[in-house]
Amino acid sequence: MAGITPEGYRKKMTRTYELPLLYMVMLFQFACMLLLAFRDGPVETFSLMMSVCLPAGTYIGLKILERFFYADRCIYILVAFLLSLGVILLRAVLKKETEASEQALFIGVGFVFLLIGAFVGSRSGMNEKFLFFMMPVCLVMMLLPFVFKTSSAANNWVRIGSVQFQPSEIMKPVLIVMLARGFSDKDGWRKWLVYIAFSVLACGILFMQPDLGSLVIFFFITVSMFFIGTGRWKTTLFVLALAAGGVGAFLSVLDKVPAFSYLASRIAIWKNPWSGEYENARQIVQGLISIASGGYFGAGLGLGSADRVAVVSSDYIFAALTEEFGTPFSLLVLGVYLLILIRVSVIAMNARSRYHALLSFGCVFALTGQMLLIVCGNLHILPLTGVTLPFVSAGGSSILASMTMAGLVLGVSSVNAEDEYDDLMRLSNGRWRDE
C-alpha cells in the first residue's frame, strides 16, 4: 500500500471520465474555430488563432487550477465549454471579430476572478465585521446607475468614459457570500435580519431602476438560501405568497403609473408581439423567426441570420445558438447547465460546513435561475428581462460575475476533496490503497 496525496486522490476518483470530456471540448473548440477561419474564402486570422488559443487556454487553465486547488475538474471543463461557445457564436453570428475578441479578453480576465472566487470559496468564511462594512459600500455602488446614466430606458448600467459595467451583475457573487455567511449563523433572527435587510434594500434599488431580471434573481437567491440555511418553510411560503400578491397588485396598476411606462410597454409587447403596435416588438418577432428558420438540425455554423435580431449578442444568444446548431445541440447545452446544477448540488450536500453548503447552493441557484429567465424569454414563455445567458452571452460584467461564482463552487469542491482525503487517511491508518 502506497501513500497518495489529495491531488492524487482527486485524480484517482475522477480521472477516468474527465479526460475524454476535456478532449471532446478541446476538439469542439478547435473544429468550430477552424471551420470559421476557412468559411469565407481567404483564411480569417482571428478564427485561426482562436482555434489554437481556445483549446490551449482550456488545458492551461485546468493545469493552473490544479496547481492551487483540488477542485472539481468536470465543472471547470463544462464551464470552459460554455465560455468557448460564446466566443464561437459571437464570431459566427456577427460576422466580425470585434465582440468575439472582446469576449475572449473578458474570459482571460475572468479566469483571474475564477481563481479569486476559488480562494474565497476555500476559506472557512468571511469576517462579519468586514461584511457589515461592505454592505453600505455595495448599496452605494448599486446606486451609481442613477448618477452615471446611459441611454438605456432601464438605469442599470454605469458608463464612465469608455468603460461600461452593470453593478447588479457584480453584486450577485457578493450577495451570495454575504447571505451564506449570515444564514449559516445559528443565532437566529437577530443576525438574519441584517442580511435580509441588505437584500431587501438591494432589491428596492433594482425595482426603481427598473431592472426586473436582476430583481427576480436577487429575490430568488435570498429566499432559497434563507430556506436552505434556516429550514423555516412556513416563513418561506409566506414570503412567496406575499411576493406573488405584490406582483399581481403591481401588474394591475402598471399601465397607470407613468414612472413604469417602460415596463408596461415591455409587458404589452410580450403579450402580443405580432400586432405591430410597438417598434420594440420586432426583437421578439425576429428572435422567434431566427429559432424557427434554423430547422431541426440548424442552418450551420455561420450560415444563419440571427444577426438581424436586435441585441442578439446578449439578449438573444440562445436564439442564435438554436438557429446555428439546431434543436438537439441547444438541448445538449441545456443539459450542460443541468449537469452543472446536479454536480454543484452534490458538492453542496457533501460540504462539511453550513457556510460552504450555502455558498454552493447560492451560486448554482443564481446561474440556473438566470439561465431559465433568458431561455424562457427567448422562447417567448416569459417576458424578456434583459439578463444574460451565463458564460455564453456577450458582456464583461456577466462573464466576470459568472466566472466568480464558478470559482466559489470550485473552492468548495477543493475543501470537500481535502476533507474526503483526511477521512480516508483516518480509515486506512494513514495510508490509502493506490491501485
What is the rounded distance in angstroms from the CA atom of residue 227 to the CA atom of residue 8? Answer: 37
Domain ranges of the chain: 6-427
Q: What is the DSSP letter of 299?
A: S
What pLDDT is recorded for position 119? Answer: 93
160 forms beta bridges with 163
* Half-sphere exposure at residue 323, Cβ-oriented, CA atoms within 13 angstroms: 27
What pLDDT is recorded for position 144? Answer: 82
CB 285 within 8 A of CB 309: no
Q: Which runs of consecutive H residues, i.e. helices, occur in 122-187?
A: 128-147, 167-183
Q: Which runs of consecutive H residues, i.e. helices, occur in 231-326?
A: 233-252, 261-271, 281-293, 317-325
Beta strand pairing status for 158-160 and 163-165? antiparallel
Cα torsion through 191, 194, 198, 199, rounded to 10: 50
Buried b (16+ CB within 10 A) or exposed e, 268-288: bbbeebeeeeeeebebbebbb
What is the rounded distance in angstroms from the CA atom of residue 259 to the CA atom of residue 254? Answer: 9
Mean pLDDT, consecutive 10-residue stretches, the chain (435 aa), reads 56 63 93 87 85 94 89 92 93 82 92 94 81 86 76 65 79 91 79 88 85 87 90 86 83 68 75 70 83 84 81 86 91 94 92 91 93 90 84 89 94 86 69 50
CB 290 within 8 A of CB 319: yes
Contacts of 223 (CB under 8 A, 6+ apart): 236, 239, 240
The helices-and-strands tally (H runs, E runs) of the chain is: 15, 2
CB 48 within 8 A of CB 33: yes
What pLDDT is recorded for position 434? Answer: 46
Rounded to 5, what percent of the chain is helix, strand, coil?
75, 0, 25
What is the rounded distance in angstroms from the CA atom of residue 119 to the CA atom of residue 126? Answer: 11
CB 295 within 8 A of CB 286: no
Buried b (16+ CB within 10 A) or exposed e, 243-265: eeeeeeeeeeebeeeeebeebbb
Cis? peptide before 210, omega within 30° of 0: yes
